[in-house]
Every structure is written in structure tokens, then in C-alpha cells.
A = this chain, B = another copy of it.
Amino acid sequence: MMTETMRDRNGLTEQEFLQRYDASIYERPSVTVDMLIFTVFDKEQVNYRKLPEKSLQLLLIKRGEHPYLGQWALPGGFVSMRESIEEAAQRELKSEANIENLYMEQLFTWGDVARDPRTRVISSSYMALVDRTALDVKAGDDAEDARWFEVNYQVFQEKKTILEGGYEFERLIKITLKHEAELLTATVKITTTITGRTRRISREIVGSHGLAFDHAKIMDYAIERLRNKIEYTDIAFHLMPPLFTLSELQQVYEVILGKELLAAAFRRKLAPMVTETNEFTKDAGHRPSKLYRFNPNWENT
């Protein structure tokens, strides 16, 4: 099909049409990316015997400008005309966490009319998972006021209402972000309405302290996705250092899923994804643990 030589109703070829095309006549939104950069830290060790607890951490930036001056926001920025959305996300990741070549995934594009008070802003959110040992220590501690916050995610109310031919399901999620004395909280209401042949999910921020824009909503979405995907993919390994013990791996799963797992079943399920090494942990105050590495070929063996 030679569209190059076809003429439209004005008698123009494609080339002629494109030369005359004026994109400036329409008003256009701004497009940004918002990055959800997660990692896992060890908390303080309680005593020489206890394993240190793990915590899920999210990188936030203190806003130095209006709007939401002084509040905390997801790192991100405008997508320029000469880069793809993906490239913009990579660029932000590099500039905020100084990390390249890691796991990154587009989550959702947020397009409510009034989500930014400045102007119409449409934002694609990306989730990135990084291994804390590969992190540039500078990042998260520079002049830009970037900080790692410990994430807590909790469903604290569920309500089901039966409707004619379906039901409405309401969940209240409480998200808490902590960095030293700084404590940010947000409550997000997720409403799932199912009636007849329709299903609609809406997310609404019902309370937010210290968090800018609609970022609590985006965090909620991201954590939900992370919790889901960790169950049926191998993305958790992007949070791990090259060598790790199965107990550490289990701790990472537990902190993300927010529940305890049984060691036997966990090991059985993850066995095909890892390769054992001959190395062990040392100075543990208890039986040493074998170190493993990720086996990228696990799916087809």
C-alpha cells in the first residue's frame, strides 16, 4: 500500500501534508514522569544473635518550590520533546539515584485534570527496584534534599455493600513513610464497584500529611503492583545483592507482602530461581547460612 503517493481530500500527498502540519494550534498538556524507587535496608540489629530486620524504602524529595513547598514528593520531571518517556524515566533515575541499568517498569499514567495546580500535567509513573549495596551512598543525601523513607502499608478498613446485581467494595489503605523524625502519612480509599457488566476501580486520597500532589495515590498503586508481581515473577531479586542467603530473601518477601511466610514452602518455591555457592555467612551468632545467587535461566530448565 503506497500511502506515500496517495492524495487526501485536499489533494495533498503525505509529504506535503506533513510539511504543512501545524501542531501548535491545539493546547497541549505537560507530560512528566514520576519515579517510585524502592530498595530494602537492614534496620538496627537488636543484639548480636538476632538477624537485623529489613525495611522497604522509597526515595522522596523535599520540594524547594511551590506548589507543595516543603512537602515530600516522588522524584520526577518533565519529558522533553527529544526523548521518549522511557528515556526521561532513565534520566531521572540516573540523576536521583545515580543508577543505570536496573529494573524499571511503567506502572500507570495519571491524567486527572486538576492533579497539578500549576497547569495540566499528565504523569507516567515508573517503578524501579534497586539493590542498596549498589547504591551510590551520596544519592539520597545530597543538596537536593532526597531521602529514603521507610514504607509501611496497611489495609485498615474494608467495607462491602451489596448492590442490585453486584456490590461495592471499599478499602481504606494507610501509608506511612518514616525517615528519622520525619513522619508522612496518607490514607487512600479504593472503591471497586461491580454492577452487572461493569467494573470500576477508583482511588481517592482521603487524607495526606506531608505528601505533595496525588503522590499518595501513586504510591498505593505501586505498592499494590509490587506486592502482586513479587508473587509470580522474579523481580524481588533486583532488590538483592549479588550474594544473599535464603533467609534474607525471605525477609524481603515478608516485608513487601506484609506477612510472615513458612520457610519450608518458601525455599521449595524459590529453589529453582537460585544457584547455591560454596560460601557461607560468618560471625552470625548462630548457624551460618549458605549464600546463593540469582539464576537468570531458571524459567527454562
* A interface residues with partner B (beta carbon < 8 Å): 1, 3, 6, 8-9, 12-14, 17-18, 21, 23, 26-31, 64-71, 78-79, 81-86, 88, 101-103, 106, 108-109, 111-113, 117-120, 122, 124, 131, 134, 160, 162, 165-167, 194-199, 209-210, 237-238, 242, 294, 296-297, 300
Of all A-B residue pairs in the complex, the 6 with the closest CB atoms, nearest first, are: A85-B111, A23-B119, A17-B66, A28-B28, A109-B109, A166-B296
Residues in chain B near residue A294, CB distance under 8 A: 197
Residues in chain B near residue A111, CB distance under 8 A: 31, 79, 84-86, 88, 124
Residue from B6, B27, B67 in contact with A17 in the complex, judged by beta carbons closer than 8 Å: B67
Minimum C-beta distance from A77 to chain B (A) = 11
Cβ B197 vs Cβ A237 within 8 A: yes
Minimum C-beta distance from A41 to chain B (A) = 18
Minimum C-beta distance from A130 to chain B (A) = 9
Cβ A300 vs Cβ B3 within 8 A: no
Instruction: Offer 18 A-B interface pairs, CB within 8 angstroms, sorted by A.
Output: A3-B68, A3-B70, A13-B66, A14-B67, A14-B68, A17-B65, A21-B118, A26-B78, A28-B30, A79-B111, A81-B113, A85-B109, A85-B111, A101-B198, A103-B199, A109-B109, A162-B297, A166-B296
Cβ A118 vs Cβ B209 within 8 A: no
Residues in chain B near residue A296, CB distance under 8 A: 165-167, 194-196
Residues in chain B near residue A84, CB distance under 8 A: 111-113
Give Cα distance in the complex from A108 to B103, angstroms: 17
Give Cα distance in the complex from A85 to B29, angstroms: 11
Residues in chain B near residue A82, CB distance under 8 A: 113
Cβ B160 vs Cβ A103 within 8 A: no
| A85 nearest in chain B by CB position | B111
Residues in chain B near residue A242, CB distance under 8 A: 197
Cβ B118 vs Cβ A18 within 8 A: yes
Residues in chain B near residue A166, CB distance under 8 A: 296-297
Residues in chain B near residue A88, CB distance under 8 A: 111
A71-B21 contact given A8-B66, A28-B31, CB 8 Å threshold: no
Minimum C-beta distance from A141 to chain B (A) = 22
Give Cα distance in the complex from A198 to B99, angstroms: 12
